[in-house]
Structure 1
Amino acid sequence: MSPDLSQIVKAYDVRGVVPDQWDESLAEVFGAAFATVTGATALVVGHDMRPSSPGLSRAFARGAASRGADVTEIGLCSTDGLYFASGHLDLPGAMFTASHNPARYNGIKMCRAGAAPVGQDTGLAEIRDLAQRWAATGLPAGAATPGTITARDVLGDYAGFLRSLVDLSGIRPLKVVVDAGNGMGGHTVPTVLDGLPVDLVPMYFELDGTFPHHEANPLDPKNLVDLQARVRETGADLGLAFDGDADRCFAVDERGEPVSPSAVTALVAARELAAHPGAVVIHNLITSRSVPEVIAEHGGTAVRTRVGHSFIKQRMAQTGAVFGGEHSAHYYFRDFWNADTGMLAALHLLAALGTQDGPLSDLVASYERYAGSGEINSTVDDQAGRTAAVRAAFATEEDVTFDELDGLTVSTPGWWFNLRASNTEPLLRLNVEAGDAAEVARLRDRVLAIVRG
């Protein structure tokens, strides 16, 4: 009996437990289906440090080559390293990673040439359906002339390209602690920062897809504790934390205090608008109100989107936006094929901090204007019913407005919150922002009483 691929093909990628839900034989089928659906005559494949990644990646390459596609294997890389290769070589690509998920998981992030995303509406559903059929019947006869599989190292080119996008020539010496979480940041950071006046303090740079020290998900505060302590111990200027596939980057200041991704978005937006006056900057609806405020103050046009990289990338392409940021620390750049790269955001932070004398806490203070709850998840059976109950409870409030761009956003001049359903789990996700922590707590508790009641 062939597996049900709808269980592992998500909205934006493939992700599941290896070998329970998928294995190298299915990876080969996915490779053949990807080459067929995209019509690729050549493509690039990379992988992270998980124990299952090399075998899955090579199987995918064999499947694509069986359809006649020439495959360039770039080996170990970050997800944004794969996007670089796709853009730089102008080839469709596939990245084998499950990001911050536990070691038993693996997945595939796919893109068309120029790092254009492949999601359910842009080819992934067709790839799933074809792979489902071939998993049941076996692969049909391949191309008369199979494609080639060759290796290519692009890490140096990737690092050089990122460095070409940010002027770091005049920065002062900085001590920087980097927690790679045993993920791909341990592979990319030394090359990207090589030659800069940076005293690098590495943490967990050993590539280990079993994540022996902590989960490689800096969005969860408990995974920043080690970094915060090391920054304080060493007197560092800042700390950076990357997730498992190193496409997201989080920062802590010289006191070990987290810098919100919204503040990083605002800071990078201001820098990009200085270089591109009047440009469009994208932000999702969970980012702080400080983000559109800063964009307007620097002469840019803020465009608000739903949460999710496919929506951000689509709006960037439509509007010609120079930059986009999300609350989850995904940062997108026009100069990087509209793809997300935490490493480039990190270089902007280093450039901004290194060209002024004050500490990072002072630099970001003007961007940290409000108090926020962070994302709070609640398990509920009736997501729509609970959301409707929340809307009804606030309907009589003065100066309240509602919008449903993505879930339910309830706003007043002094505060806002968003409640939205997970696409994959029976969860409602709540984010609250207000002028101070006490007001955030009041709103949070009021909404959660309805959601969980």
Structure 2
Amino acid sequence: MSQLTCFKAYDIRGKLGTELNEDIAYKVGRAYGQIYQPKTVVIGCDIRLSSEALKQATIQGLNDAGVNVLDLGMTGTEEVYFGAFHLDVQGGIEVTASHNPMDYNGMKLVRENARPISADTGLKDIQALAELGTFEDVSKKGTIQPYNILPEFIAHLMTYIDPAKIRPLKLVMNAGNGAAGHVVDAIETKFKQLSIPVEFIKIHNDADGTFPNGIPNPILVENRDSTRNAVLEHGADMGIAWDGDFDRCFLFDEKGQFIEGYYIVGLLAQAFLLKQSGEKIVHDPRLVWNTLDIVHQYQGQTVQSKSGHAFIKDVMREHNAVYGGEMSAHHYFRDFAYCDSGMIPWLLAIAVLSETQKNLSALVEGMIAKFPCSGEINFKVADTQKTIQKIFDHFADQKPIIDQTDGVSLDFGTWRVNVRASNTEPLLRLNIESTASKNPQPMQFYIEELTQLIQG
């Protein structure tokens, strides 16, 4: 029995050929079908050159396990999530490596109602069966049927805005040659039908698995220029860029400035609370003060959750939260079966721009000035737990308020730090925030102090 190394904490990801190939994809489909015994599942894939073949192998495995498949074709992850809760099916699989390098691919798996399958909710069972290969014969093979989910998906997206209230706007849309382009086109068509006065400036919109403009991952500073330049060149009100499977979107203001995902959480919380005060908003523990401030200001309630989509979704379900946001640009919505979406955030943002009659920089500059943050800084360290303990010990005599929801958060009243081991990579992740009005030290002071401590 050979061990499959492509199984990670939240999904399946691996190097093509060695860690993930069509034989492994077949076994994943077969194991998924045998363990969950769904009648029907939806499946889609991103635009990577290897994705279609991996999808077909997964479908074969599902069919051989007696499962019927609705093939959604080329999709982003959230179209599979949508199909999994919107249609009469019992699960879904998206073949995608999102923003991983060219020679990688992977899969994201969900059960009925798009509930996540991760390491502690079934992914290890699928791995164990795929490794063993002890598959049961079924009396009746499953069927495969193509299905176009796009019209229903677009209709759902339009429920997040009031078309009559959207003011004239010019938007730069950068699909990064990933899977987002076909949805951008469909929304543009729908806006025209509804006479919504929004002009779309589309760049890198064509799906192209060779990624002629680089792997779409706007969280990397070097990948932001094309969106920023287009915003400035066209005098746009906002820029939007997506990763490969468009489950994350990144916003740029009218000055071409990239807005940290942390402040977008505050913006989207505001969008929901403008509609309905008193709602619950879930956030992760890495950076919190701005979110707490905004939610309090707009009469909402905050709930803290450990980082990571499986945790956020569970906490949202438990508290019936309308929205959950992570500073990593993952945004989750109750009306979207608690799943993350890269399309809903920018629609809500244009609703706030319209409602407040402000531009995006005006909406977030106050937040940034009040609660500056470092952005996430990653360190490669030999032992993450030992390094976290070292930070803990170093500051012990200052008696910070300690929170261990996720890694360690130390709150000193005027500044706060969260340090945690990555769930997906061998890295230590550091986030610092401060209250500008009460703080004598600039952010750089804390960044340098902690960098020396971690690397020393």
Q: Same fold (TM over 0.5)?
A: yes
Q: 2:363 matched to 1:363?
A: yes
Residue 17 of structure 1 deviates from its aligned partner by 1.1
The verdict on how the C-alpha distance between 1:87 and 1:222 changes in structure 2, with shifts beyond 3 A counting, is same
Q: Could you say which residue in structure 2 is the equivalent of 1:26?
A: 24
Take 2:80 and 2:366, find their aligned partners in 1: how far apart are those partners? 34
Q: 2:173 matched to 1:178?
A: yes
**Residues 378-429 of structure 1: CA deviation (Å, up to 9, x unaligned):** 11112222111111111112x5222211111111111111111123443211
Q: Once structures 1 and 2 are overlaid, which stretch shifts more, 242-251 or 262-271?
A: 262-271
Q: Once structures 1 and 2 are overlaid, which stretch shifts more, 304-313 or 257-266?
A: 257-266
**Residues 317-375 of structure 1: CA deviation (Å, up to 9, x unaligned):** 11111100000111100000000112001100111213444322112334333211111
Residue 127 of structure 1 deviates from its aligned partner by 0.5
Q: Could you say which residue in structure 2 is the equivalent of 1:38?
A: 36
Is residue 288–residue 370 contact of structure 1 (8 Å, CA) maintained in 2?
no
Within 5 Å, give how 1:267-278 maps onto structure 2: 267-278=267-278
Is residue 82–residue 94 contact of structure 1 (8 Å, CA) maintained in 2?
yes
Q: Could you say which residue in structure 1 is the equivalent of 2:116?
A: 117
Within 5 Å, give how 1:206-285 maps onto structure 2: 206-285=206-285
Q: Could you say which residue in structure 2 is the equivalent of 1:299?
A: 299
CA RMSD of aligned residues (A): 1.6
SS of the residue corresponding to residue 73 of structure 1 reads strand
Residue 164 of structure 1 deviates from its aligned partner by 1.7
Q: Could you say which residue in structure 2 is the equivalent of 1:67?
A: 65
Q: Could you say which residue in structure 1 is the equivalent of 2:103?
A: 104
SS of the residue corresponding to residue 259 of structure 1 reads coil
Residue 77 of structure 1 deviates from its aligned partner by 0.8
Q: Quick one: percent identity of the two aligned structures?
A: 36
Residue identity matched to 2:118: G
Residue 227 of structure 1 deviates from its aligned partner by 0.7
Q: Could you say which residue in structure 2 is the equivalent of 1:81?
A: 79
**Residues 172-195 of structure 1: CA deviation (Å, up to 9, x unaligned):** 221111111111111211112322
Is residue 46–residue 179 contact of structure 2 (8 Å, CA) maintained in 1?
yes
Take 2:34 and 2:394, find their aligned partners in 1: how far apart are those partners? 51
Q: Could you say which residue in structure 1 is the equivalent of 2:163?
A: 168
Take 1:111 and 1:386, find their aligned partners in 2: how far apart are those partners? 35
Residue 165 of structure 1 deviates from its aligned partner by 2.5
Residue identity matched to 1:328: S
**Residues 46-98 of structure 1: CA deviation (Å, up to 9, x unaligned):** 11000111111111111111111111000111111111111101420000001
Q: Could you say which residue in structure 2 is the equivalent of 1:396?
A: 397
Take 1:13 and 1:197, find their aligned partners in 2: how far apart are those partners? 39
Q: Could you say which residue in structure 2 is the equivalent of 1:128?
A: 127
The verdict on how the C-alpha distance between 1:90 and 1:272 changes in structure 2, with shifts beyond 3 A counting, is farther
Residue 170 of structure 1 deviates from its aligned partner by 2.1
Is residue 160–residue 192 contact of structure 1 (8 Å, CA) maintained in 2?
no
Is residue 71–residue 144 contact of structure 2 (8 Å, CA) maintained in 1?
yes
Is residue 154–residue 187 contact of structure 2 (8 Å, CA) maintained in 1?
yes
Q: Could you say which residue in structure 1 is the equivalent of 2:334?
A: 334
Is residue 267–residue 367 contact of structure 1 (8 Å, CA) maintained in 2?
no
Take 1:425 and 1:353, find their aligned partners in 2: how far apart are those partners? 36
Take 2:149 and 2:423, find their aligned partners in 1: how far apart are those partners? 35
Q: Could you say which residue in structure 2 is the equivalent of 1:191?
A: 186
Take 1:315 and 1:187, find their aligned partners in 2: how far apart are those partners? 32
**Residues 247-305 of structure 1: CA deviation (Å, up to 9, x unaligned):** 10111111011122222211211221233331211000123411111111211110111
Is residue 277–residue 300 contact of structure 1 (8 Å, CA) maintained in 2?
yes
Is residue 84–residue 114 contact of structure 2 (8 Å, CA) maintained in 1?
yes
Take 2:258 and 2:288, find their aligned partners in 1: how far apart are those partners? 15
Residue 3 of structure 1 deviates from its aligned partner by 4.2
Q: 2:455 matched to 1:452?
A: yes
Is residue 282–residue 315 contact of structure 1 (8 Å, CA) maintained in 2?
yes
Is residue 99–residue 217 contact of structure 2 (8 Å, CA) maintained in 1?
yes
SS of the residue corresponding to residue 163 of structure 2 reads coil
Is there any run of 5+ residues in structure 1 with no aligned partner, and where?
none
Take 1:104 and 1:90, find their aligned partners in 2: how far apart are those partners? 35
Residue 232 of structure 1 deviates from its aligned partner by 0.7
Q: 2:384 matched to 1:386?
A: no
